[in-house]
Amino acid sequence: MSTETGHHDVLVIGAGIIGLCSAYHIKKDNPNLSILVIDRSSAPGQGDTAKSVAAVRDTFTSEVNRLFASSTIDFYKHVQSELGFNLNLELIGYLWLVSEKQFKGFEAIEDGMRKQGIRFRTFEREELTQLIPDLVLDPASEQSKIIGMDSIFKAVQGLDCGTVSPESIAKFYENEFKKMGGEFQFGIEAKSIRVDAKNRLDLPGEPYVWQDKVFRGVETNHGYISAETLVIAAGSRTPLLLDPIGIDCFVKPKKRQVFQIRGSSLDRLMTTKGFNEQNTVPFTILPKGGVYFRPVRGERSFWVGAADDIGRPFRFEEEPIAEESYYTYNIYPILSEYLPCFANLRPVNSWAGFYDINSLDSTPVIDRISNCILATGMSGSGIMKADAVGRVAAAVFKDESEAVLFGGRRISASRVGLTNRSVGKEEFVL
């Protein structure tokens, strides 16, 4: 058994955006507690948070998703406009380029979403031709026929959506947590969670099945750290810690790959006018394959990826690497057919991380098991829901039935737990 290197009231495993928000809100509500955040990286937000495309949207039909996302976006607005901390938040919008079938699906839920305060704008084909001259509405090549690419019927823009800097958001929460006396230790990798009997009898083989269990602390690569409460916010690594102790967190890791594309042929697309105040094309999702692109104005480049589902394995890798063949054979054929300005351009950079996919319903899981709090299962929406997740984790820590989100909105903490879960079905899936 390794030497104990410290004891804390709360030990947060993971300094990604979810661990940072959880630590911040727990510390804010309980300023006298000693709270330590550990991470295997060298600084906050360097894992999957840094490898995100960092897009945010409030366009959800599920009440839980909508509350989490909209309150988090509103908090980011508050941080940037009222607290003066630049998060590089730009509400450039989300633009869905949709087929006729996809648009009919949107029409079926549009009224309900608007009544909930979600703001949309719809564009006809003629408008799209004027706004995005590089866009091909009716792909007709042999390749597009083989791929099965649909014509673009219309476009739907979510207005209160956009992009942020993951590094800036991580830095904000890091700074605020430190101001309150919170601690970090980096280069510390959690290897296993130590389970013990709540009331030890000092008998060999404890804990027995008839004993109540507690989580005493974590074995790390630099020794054992004990704590009164553990917060597991390790993203895609969460099941590596929980599976060995028999806790099913319903999280599976799925690789996500992002490619940076740059070229003079993209200048007109980058400076598109008519969608937003920034005079750039919005974060855009194409009708086929979940292919998307995000303008990054400071870099004069686009980040490109795809939301791949069936066909790609749930599998964890220690150091995931983006595969250029994935761009070449999966993304590029769709991207270059709809937008020939991307033709013949190759990635100038690429990176890969993981989604911590919640296999139940793709909605965050926040719950308490004995003295261990889970904050996991973000399913690719960690940054856009992070502040709300942190507030719910803080409520769960204090055994409060409700969490108060930014702006005074409330939600029952049990709705995102494992026992009395009630998150609703998300219908906005284009």
DSSP letters of 367-405? EEETTEEEEE--TT-HHHHHHHHHHHHHHHHTT-SEEE-
pLDDT at 310: 62
Q: Is residue 34 included in any domain, yes or no? A: yes
Q: Report which DSSP code applies to 206.
A: P
The percent of residues above 90 in pLDDT, for the chain, comes to 94
* Domain shared by 345 and 377, yes or no: no
* Domain shared by 155 and 295, yes or no: yes
* Domain shared by 297 and 322, yes or no: yes
Q: Is residue 266 included in any domain, yes or no? A: yes
Q: Is residue 128 included in any domain, yes or no? A: yes
pLDDT at 1: 57
User: Tens digits of per-residue pLDDT, 293-338?
Assistant: 999 999 999 999 998 776 788 999 999 999 999 999 999 999 999 9
* Domain shared by 350 and 412, yes or no: no
Prediction pTM value: 0.96
Among 323, 358, 393, where does a domain finish?
358
Residue 195: is its pLDDT beyond 80?
A: yes
* Domain shared by 257 and 351, yes or no: yes
* Domain shared by 353 and 364, yes or no: no
Q: Is residue 40 included in any domain, yes or no? A: yes
* Domain shared by 244 and 264, yes or no: no
CATH number of the domain bearing residue 230: 3.50.50.60
Residue 274: is its pLDDT beyond 60?
A: yes
User: Tens digits of per-residue pLDDT, 344-401?
Assistant: 999 999 999 999 999 889 999 999 999 999 999 999 999 999 999 999 999 999 999 9
* Domain shared by 149 and 259, yes or no: yes
* Domain shared by 198 and 146, yes or no: no
Q: Are 137 and 128 in contact (CB under 8 A)?
A: yes
Q: Is residue 374 included in any domain, yes or no? A: yes
Average confidence (pLDDT) over 124-139: 97
pLDDT at 15: 98
Q: Is residue 396 included in any domain, yes or no? A: yes
Q: Is residue 263 included in any domain, yes or no? A: yes
* Domain shared by 367 and 258, yes or no: no
* Domain shared by 148 and 262, yes or no: yes
Q: Binning pLDDT at 50, 70 and 90, where does residue 64 land?
A: very high
Structure tokens at 33: 């507690």
Residue in 97, 98, 125, 139 with CA at minimum distance from that of residue 340: 139
* Domain shared by 325 and 264, yes or no: yes
Average confidence (pLDDT) over 9-17: 98
User: Tens digits of per-residue pLDDT, 69-107?
Assistant: 999 999 999 999 999 999 999 999 999 999 999 999 999
Range of the domain at 212: 4-52+167-250+360-416
Q: Is residue 60 included in any domain, yes or no? A: no
Average pLDDT, the chain: 95
Domain count, the chain: 2
CATH number of the domain bearing residue 352: 3.30.9.10
List phi, psi (to 5°) of 129: -60, -40
